[in-house]
Amino acid sequence: MKFVIQKHRASTEHYDFRLRVGDALKSWAVPKGFSTDPREKRLAIATEDHPVDYLDFEGVIPEDEYGAGTVMVWDIGDYRNLKDDSIEDAIADGHLTVWLEGKKIQGGYSLIRTDFGRDQESWMLVKMDDEKADARRHPVSTEPDSATTGRDLEEIREQSQ
């Protein structure tokens, strides 16, 4: 199944992590994006499901629509569920572990629901300590451009007008 990590410059810049599950994209907003260091925990806020055809969307969401701003496909690829439970059950239980095969992000990642959020669902995103873990890589800052078109956010915005 496919996953995408979209860089989204809306009111604040963040990364939207989406997993295809059945006929929907299960989604989390990750303010700081993905780390490859297993010691770093990244906040992930569960957001609404998106339609499957949004998976490779790159462009501008107009001012008057939900999520207004520029969207980049920062990374995309296949994932597989590393747990014995179905991915649906793992999400419902608040603990999933997936193996990602992206262009920038690879290896195991866990998402664990926490009780920190009040009116929103907070999760923690953590890199598994596997052969793809690397505390020296910082792909969010060193590989900022689109995984599909090589464009930066400004180029996507200009070319969408």
Please choose, out of 9-17, 72-80, 86-94, 100-108, the segment that lies near Mn ion by the rule CB under 5 A. 9-17
Residue 50 or residue 104: which is nearer to Mn ion going by CB?
A: 50
| Of positions 3, 5, 8, 34, contacts Mn ion by CB under 5 A | 8
Residue 10 or residue 133: which is nearer to Mn ion going by CB?
A: 10
Residue 108 or residue 147: which is nearer to Mn ion going by CB?
A: 147
DSSP strands (E only) in the chain: 2-9, 13-21, 24-30, 41-51, 59-61, 69-81, 95-101, 106-113, 122-127
What does DSSP assign to residue 35?
-
Residue 159 and residue 151 in contact, taking contact as beta carbons nearer than 8 Å:
yes
The end-to-end CA distance of the chain, in Å, is 32
CB of 131 to Mn ion, least distance (A): 31
Residue 80 and residue 22 in contact, taking contact as beta carbons nearer than 8 Å:
no
Please choose, out of 14-22, 34-42, 96-104, 130-138, the segment that lies near Mn ion by the rule CB under 5 A. 14-22
Q: Measure Cα distances from 113 to 12, 63, 101, 148, 154 in Å.
A: 23, 32, 23, 30, 34
Q: Does the footprint of Mn ion cover residue 75 (CB under 5 A)?
A: no
Binding-site size for Mn ion (CB under 5 A) equals: 2
| Of positions 16, 72, 79, 127, contacts Mn ion by CB under 5 A | 16
Q: Which residues bind Mn ion (CB under 5 A)?
A: 8, 16
